[in-house]
C-alpha cells in the first residue's frame, strides 16, 4: 500500500520519528539504531515504509533504506518473530552485523541482541542463512585515517567485539592474506572466526 513517505523530518524520539508531508504529520516506528540515519530535523527525507494492520489498529514502520526494510521483512519470516520483535532486533544490532552473523552462523553474536535467546537465534539462522539478498557491507574497503580495513574493524565492533582487539586481529589476517578481488571478504571471514573462537 505504501512504499515510502517523503517529507520534512519534524521530530526524533528513541524509537520513532515524525514526518510532515504538507499538512499531515506521520508518526513512524523505526529501529532505535536507525533514528539518526534519517538525517537532521527540518531536512527533507525519504522513509521506506511497511504498514502493519492488526485487529485494534494500524502501525506504520519506517526505515532509512529499502535494504533495511527488506531485512526487516526477512525477519518476519522467522517463526516467533513478529513486527515488534523484528524492530527490536534491528534496534540491537546493525543491519550489516546482523547479516554477517546470520551468514556466519554466529549464534553467540545473535544472542547478544536483547530478546534473542538460543532458540530464536537458531531459528533465525535456519530461516535466513543463504537467503538474504545483500551480502554484509563490512568487507567493503575504504582508505581512511583508521587504516585500509576500517570498514571491517567497524563492522566487527558493531557486532560487539572490542575495537582494539578487532584492529589487532584484522591487521594479523591482512598481513597473511593473499591479495586479490576477494581479499577483503576473506579477511573479514577469518577475523570474525578468530574473534569468535578467541584465537
pLDDT at 95 exceeding the cut of 50: yes
Which residue range is the domain that position 59 belongs to? 4-63
69-73, 118-122, 161-165: lowest mean pLDDT where? 161-165
- Residues 15 and 29: beta-carbon distance below 8 Å: yes
- Residues 19 and 25: beta-carbon distance below 8 Å: yes
Model pLDDT, residue 162: 78
Report the distance separating Cα 152 and Cα 137, nearest Å: 9
With respect to residue 83, please indicate whether it lies within any of the assigned structural domains. Answer: yes
Model pLDDT, residue 82: 93
Beta strands in the chain (DSSP E): 4-12, 16-20, 25-29, 44-54, 57-63
Residues 193 and 182 occupy one common structural domain: yes
| Domains held by the chain: number | 3
With respect to residue 135, please indicate whether it lies within any of the assigned structural domains. Answer: no
For residue 178, what pLDDT band results from cuts at 50, 70 and 90? Answer: low
Model pLDDT, residue 137: 44
- Mean pLDDT across the chain, nearest whole number? 84
Residues 52 and 84 occupy one common structural domain: no
Model-wide pTM > 0.75: no
For residue 63, what pLDDT band results from cuts at 50, 70 and 90? Answer: very high
Domain harbouring 71, CATH code:
1.10.150.20
Report the distance separating Cα 82 and Cα 36, nearest Å: 24
Residues 15 and 39 occupy one common structural domain: yes
Q: What percent of the chain has pLDDT over 90?
A: 49
With respect to residue 139, please indicate whether it lies within any of the assigned structural domains. Answer: no
Residues 36 and 83 occupy one common structural domain: no
**Domain end among 41, 63, 85:** 63
pLDDT at 120 exceeding the cut of 90: yes
Amino acid at each position: 500500500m505504501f512504499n515510502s513517505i517523503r517529507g520534512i523530518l519534524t521530530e526524533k524520539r528513541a524509537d520513532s520519528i515524525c514526518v510532515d508531508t504538507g499538512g499531515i504529520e506521520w508518526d513512524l516506528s523505526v529501529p532505535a539504531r536507525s533514528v539518526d540515519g534519517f538525517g537532521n530535523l527540518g531536512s527533507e527525507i525519504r522513509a521506506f515504509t511497511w504498514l502493519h494492520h492488526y485487529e485494534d489498529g494500524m502501525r506504520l514502520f519506517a526505515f532509512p533504506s529499502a535494504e533495511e526494510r527488506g531485512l526487516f521483512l526477512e525477519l518476519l519470516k522467522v517463526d516467533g518473530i513478529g513486527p515488534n520483535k523484528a524492530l527490536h532486533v534491528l534496534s540491537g544490532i546493525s543491519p550489516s552485523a546482523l547479516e554477517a552473523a546470520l551468514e556466519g552462523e554466529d549464534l553467540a553474536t545473535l544472542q547478544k541482541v536483547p530478546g534473542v535467546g538460543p532458540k530464536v537465534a537458531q531459528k533465525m539462522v535456519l530461516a535466513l542463512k543463504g537467503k538474504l539478498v545483500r551480502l554484509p557491507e563490512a568487507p567493503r574497503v575504504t582508505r581512511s585515517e583508521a587504516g585500509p580495513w576500517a570498514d571491517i574493524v567497524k563492522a566487527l565492533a558493531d557486532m560487539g567485539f572490542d575495537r582494539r582487539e578487532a584492529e589487532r586481529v584484522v591487521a594479523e589476517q591482512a598481513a597473511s592474506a593473499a591479495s586479490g578481488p576477494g581479499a577483503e571478504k576473506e579477511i573479514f571471514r577469518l577475523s570474525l572466526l578468530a574473534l569468535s573462537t578467541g584465537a
